[in-house]
């Protein structure tokens, strides 16, 4: 890469696509000081304290819930070789300990999130776009499991959000950009070895293409 500009890889995928596991596995194919990650999840505009009912009705699956200008600014800082300090978002979980993230610049910058292709200024910075998808029923079962275990949401609340927020947002703000992505990964099986092999294949392709 010329001018010391990092290679910027965008990874987008709907809820339940298995994006987080894909991402964590993908990162392991690079040295620690070779790659850095900036996640859209840490740019939610704080929604304040909410009751369970308010939380159920609040739609987190809209681009307007993200501070996209700060997200863009921090990506540009990392491109310019600056370190970013960011408070981790805890999804309104009062029991979570909020950490301050230190995001250091690196030769490879991974930008991930639901709306990174929808946010035009962010999308234009990406050198390679990876789209992770899964069948809707597979994705829903993963979401029910995750929200139950990690966030303590009742299944009825998860289903309400899925049908009223998650699926409409996916169809409007993510699916239309699928064809702009250089790499599309269909992730319907929960077999770690399959994703490990796929991420290794993709990381090798990228290293070869950009002489890393």
- Domains held by the chain: number: 1
| Structural domain boundaries, residue 66 | 7-204
Residue 2 has pLDDT above 60, yes or no: no
Give the tens place of pLDDT for each residue, 33-63.
999 999 999 999 988 778 878 888 899 999 9
Is 211 a member of any domain? no
Say how far apart CA 172 and CA 147 lie, in whole Å: 23
Beta strand 108-112 with 100-103 is unpaired
Is 101 a member of any domain? yes
Reported confidence tier of residue 1, pLDDT bands at 50, 70, 90: very low
The percentage of residues in the chain with a pLDDT greater than 70, rounded to a whole number, is: 96
Is 210 a member of any domain? no
Q: What is the predicted pLDDT for the residue at 121? A: 98
CATH number for the domain including 99? 3.40.50.300
Is 167 a member of any domain? yes
CA distances from 124 to 61, 72, 151 (A): 22, 11, 33
Q: What is the predicted pLDDT for the residue at 93? A: 65
According to DSSP, residue 95 is labeled T
Q: Could you tell me how many residues make up the chain?
A: 212
Q: What is the mean pLDDT of the chain?
A: 93
Give the tens place of pLDDT for each residue, 145-196.
998 888 888 999 999 999 999 999 999 999 999 999 999 999 999 999 999 9
Residue 106 has pLDDT above 80, yes or no: yes
Which phi and psi (to 5°) does residue 15 adopt?
A: -60, 130
Residue 78 has pLDDT above 70, yes or no: yes
Reported confidence tier of residue 144, pLDDT bands at 50, 70, 90: very high
Give me the mean pLDDT over the 119-145 stretch.
Answer: 97
Is 2 a member of any domain? no
Is 13 a member of any domain? yes
According to DSSP, residue 185 is labeled E
Better-scored residue on pLDDT, 147 or 22: 22
Q: What pTM value is reported for the model?
A: 0.92
Say how far apart CA 69 and CA 56 lie, in whole Å: 26
Show the 3-state SS of 153-181: CCHHHHHHHHHHHHHHHHHHHHHHHHHHC
Count of helices and strands (H, E) across the chain = 8, 7
Q: What is the predicted pLDDT for the residue at 179? A: 96
């Amino acid at each position: 890469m010329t001018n010391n500009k990092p290679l910027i890889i965008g990874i987008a995928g709907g809820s339940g696509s298995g994006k987080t596991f894909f991402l964590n596995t993908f990162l392991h194919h690079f040295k620690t000081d070779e790659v850095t990650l900036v996640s859209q999840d840490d740019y939610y505009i704080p929604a304040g304290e909410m009751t369970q009912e308010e939380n159920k009705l609040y739609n987190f699956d809209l681009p307007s819930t993200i501070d996209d200008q700060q997200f863009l600014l921090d990506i540009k800082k990392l491109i310019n070789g600056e370190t970013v300090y960011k408070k981790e978002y805890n999804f309104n979980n009062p029991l979570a300990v909020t950490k301050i993230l230190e995001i250091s610049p690196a030769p490879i910058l991974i930008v991930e999130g639901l709306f990174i292709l929808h946010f035009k200024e962010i999308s234009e910075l990406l050198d390679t776009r990876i789209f992770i998808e899964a069948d809707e029923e597979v994705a829903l079962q993963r979401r029910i499991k995750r929200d139950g275990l990690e966030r303590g949401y009742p299944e009825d609340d998860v289903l309400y959000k899925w049908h009223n927020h998650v699926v409409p947002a996916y169809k409007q703000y993510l699916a239309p950009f699928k064809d702009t992505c250089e790499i599309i990964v269909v992730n319907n099986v929960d077999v770690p070895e399959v994703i490990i092999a796929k991420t290794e294949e993709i990381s090798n392709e990228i290293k070869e293409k950009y002489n890393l």
